[in-house]
Amino acid sequence: MAFARRNAGWITVAALLGGVGLVGASWIAWRWLPARPAMLAALPPQSYTPLDEMSFGEVQQLRRDLHLDDDALGCMNLTATQLETLVAGLRNWYETNAADLRARRAALADQRALVRHHESEIKMGRGDVASLTDARGQLAVLEAAHASYLAGVETQVLASLSDAQRTQFDIAKANATMPMPLRALNLTAGQADAVRAARARYFRSIGVQRDPELLAAIKADYEQAVANAVGAANAQQLDTLRGILGPASVRVVSALNLVLPEEDEQ
């Protein structure tokens, strides 16, 4: 059950998108998988101790903080070994620094609670504006420090990536609100805005529509609008991405369940 809950989205993508064509696989290998860095030569261990509930939850939160969600990992189209190396590095960092990370998160939570307290007091007519201003200032300092801290963690965890793979991760990170496979495209701000507008029109149009022919027409209009928004070169790349997402998703799921097993899965 834990496996299904964590990977339901990727399992659906894998089922829908299927296998990889030889041409698409060769292209994506050339585009995203240059020679592996020397640091990947030493393979990580092949078995990992199950994580208790608290540790598992904290690692998943760390993944979210670093934008290392399943889709972002899939966008890089890493090999199984590269994925294992990356996720093992994430786990190793967490296990070394868990206490410090926990303390930083607690400090942030406490300061946010203090800000909410002062806001509530002011709404009830007995608060101190100066205290609220001071609490907000301290929170801003803590948040900036935490963001800088996470940037350092990201650098360490992603050290095994090649320059091209890191570039692809940065694209996926910047496109965090985009659905797959659009998230993997290096879009301009104007292209991204046009895609979002097309998606908004699509969801408004389908509404509670149930007629199959109308739904098919709306979908076709949406896909054409997206192709127009991203441009010919990106539209062609989308066709290749649709071919690789299935196998990439399987590798992501396998690496996560190998390196980050939960106690109840054993």
Determine, yes or no, domain membership for 9.
Answer: yes
Q: Which domain holds residue 41?
A: 2-89+163-265
Peptide bond into 181 cis (omega under 30): yes
Instruction: Decide: 241 and 181 in contact? Cβ < 8 Å.
Output: yes
Domain total in the chain: 1
- Cα angle: 233, vertex 228, 33; to 5 degrees: 30
| Any domain includes 99 | no
| pLDDT of 26 | 34
- Encode burial over 91-108: b for 16+ CB neighbours within 10 A, e otherwise: bebbeeeeeebeebeeee
User: What confidence score (pLDDT) does residue 46 get?
Assistant: 64
**Burial status of residue 22 (CB atoms within 10 A of its CB: 0-12, 13-18, 19 or more):** exposed
pLDDT of the residue at 238:
87
For residue range 154-178, list pLDDT tens digits in order.
999 999 999 999 999 999 999 998 9
What is the average pLDDT across 194-203?
93
Mind listing the pLDDT tens digit for each residue in 205-232? 988 788 899 999 999 999 999 999 999 9
Q: Give the model's pLDDT for residue 245.
A: 81
Instruction: With respect to residue 117, please indicate whether it lies within any of the assigned structural domains.
Output: no
Q: How many CA atoms lie within 13 A of 169 on its CB side?
A: 22
Whether 238 is in a domain gets the answer yes
Per DSSP, the three-state class of 262 is strand
133, burial (CB in 10 Å: exposed 0-12, middle 13-18, buried 19+): exposed
pLDDT band at 1 (very low <50, low <70, confident <90, very high): very low
Note whether residue 202 is domain-resident: yes
Q: 193 in a domain, yes or no? A: yes
| Predicted local distance difference test score (pLDDT) of residue 3 | 45
Task: Indicate whether 183 belongs to any domain.
Answer: yes
Q: How far apart are CA 147 and CA 140, in angstroms?
A: 11
Between residues 16 and 101, the one the model is more confident about: 101
The per-residue pLDDT for 241 is: 87
Is 0.85 topped by the overall pTM?
no
At residue 125, φ and ψ (nearest 5 deg) are 85, 10
